[in-house]
Structure 1
């Protein structure tokens, strides 16, 4: 007799709650994207580093508004969780962090993140990755989280390693960027891994 494997995260656990807001020790805040953030999201596509490493395409103001609406829906359908990294006091976004490629049944998800120049060099992404990881593993109940990035993206590699995501290997020619195919590092954290000091 084949015994079915139960879902790691039961359906509805995420969608039954509102998307949480997290304060960070450095004063920044993780909050859902709002309709009035559409201009920041559209403008972010013009930033060379965001464009190089995240491939967001070019968004009009209407496109950005639709994307924000889609992120809200994807929370309710348990497909993704995307936050704005905003200035202290719920101010304007300086970045994005989220989890996509959700497999709640299998207990895994993959990080996506970027920062605009106003948020860089302040340690905010490291703190945000650790905070979202704690929510995903401890509160939601996922078992494994992944971070993948181009091997040429040293800043993303530092964030992953400092956040306690072990480097598991290199995926050859794994993602097409504007300058060609890039090898990608694969980092992961699983339930029970030690949190950074």
Structure 2
């Protein structure tokens, strides 16, 4: 092969395309990401990365970061999706794989530079760039479930898991429902504050409604009353806000909080002129992590030993979203009733 043969765009069915696409997918598998031996088999010793957030990592940093992901996210799993891959062979032992990801905080274009090292293809460099562009139709079709695998329904338009749920301003009368939410999962809700009596619930609501505290508390509500809360503490000096959320145990796992957080973010950006939103969560709380990422928040870093819980130091992850960031992949929001 002559040097004039490069670069070459390889056919999608070429063995090298299939091999590197499968290797890329392995790096999205939680079990692989949590196993140092597997990572060393896939990453080049001189590996570097520039993440979607703009953070740079070298080999040691990325291995440590991936290994430190919550254990709940590791274990046997299905490799992640590498969408619309295109492989350009730059030289006999160097190839550029461009692809698209749709999981995580925001959809992103991905560029991976693979190089042969000691006879094996290893990832030398990776960069992710957030995008708001929709996935091309041809690639999107690959993501549709097989008709035999899809849940069957006789309804023409099956109800969404959060139909009938909406946002409204928090009210003093919500104190009883707040107490019920704290009672629904006392161990987990203890991190949200001290609410074990009706008096404490009333004080909790009163603090949030006090104008001096610069909070924007929105009740996640049904016709029967409050089911959860999403709120923002506003830093008017810097046009920033710290956001947080919780749900009654009976309403978790349905995507409600992510939809509520997307709505709150839009209100803060469009109505209140906020530039930057921030939130923090424990590394051993994968549910809250999914909420943040589905609402378009990007992980910026890790705070080591931030909290002392049951005598153990726990790390936290810091997330942010800017008014200028791409909107999250899912645009589903909750209706806002004033």
Contact 2:175 2:201 in 1 (8 A): yes
Q: How do residues 121-132 of structure 1 correspond to structure 2 at under 5 angstroms?
A: 121-132=253-264
CA–CA separation in structure 2 for the residues paired with 1:179 and 1:86 = 35
| Cα 1:180/1:159, change in 2 over 3 Å | same
CA–CA separation in structure 2 for the residues paired with 1:183 and 1:161 = 18
Q: Which has the higher contact order (CA 8 A, sep 6+)?
A: 1
Q: How do residues 3-152 of structure 1 correspond to structure 2 at under 5 angstroms?
A: 26-46=163-183, 47-48=185-186, 50-51=188-189, 54-73=191-210, 76-77=211-212, 79-87=214-222, 89=223, 91-100=224-233, 102-152=234-284
Q: CA RMSD in A?
A: 1.9
| Cα 1:148/1:157, change in 2 over 3 Å | same
The Cα shift of 1:35 comes to 2.8
Q: State the TM-score, normalized to the length of structure 2.
A: 0.46
For residue 171 of structure 1, the aligned residue among 303, 319, 330 is 303
Q: Which structure's CA Rg is the greater one?
A: 2
| Cα 1:178/1:44, change in 2 over 3 Å | farther
Q: Quote the residue 1:3 is aligned against.
A: none
Contact 2:295 2:328 in 1 (8 A): yes
1:93-131: per-residue Cα shift (whole Å, max 9, x none)?
A: 11111012x211111111111111221122111100100
Contact 2:181 2:249 in 1 (8 A): no
Which runs of 5 or more structure 1 residues have no equivalent in the other structure?
Answer: 1-24
CA–CA separation in structure 1 for the residues paired with 2:322 and 2:220 = 24
| Cα 1:43/1:177, change in 2 over 3 Å | farther
The Cα shift of 1:37 comes to 1.9
Alignment partner of 1:135: what SS? helix
CA–CA separation in structure 2 for the residues paired with 1:139 and 1:164 = 18
| Cα 1:27/1:119, change in 2 over 3 Å | same
Q: State the TM-score, normalized to the length of structure 1.
A: 0.77
CA–CA separation in structure 2 for the residues paired with 1:179 and 1:26 = 41
Alignment partner of 2:189: what SS? helix
1:194 pairs with 2:326:
yes
Contact 1:50 1:114 in 2 (8 A): no
Number of residues of Structure 1 aligned to a counterpart in Structure 2: 167
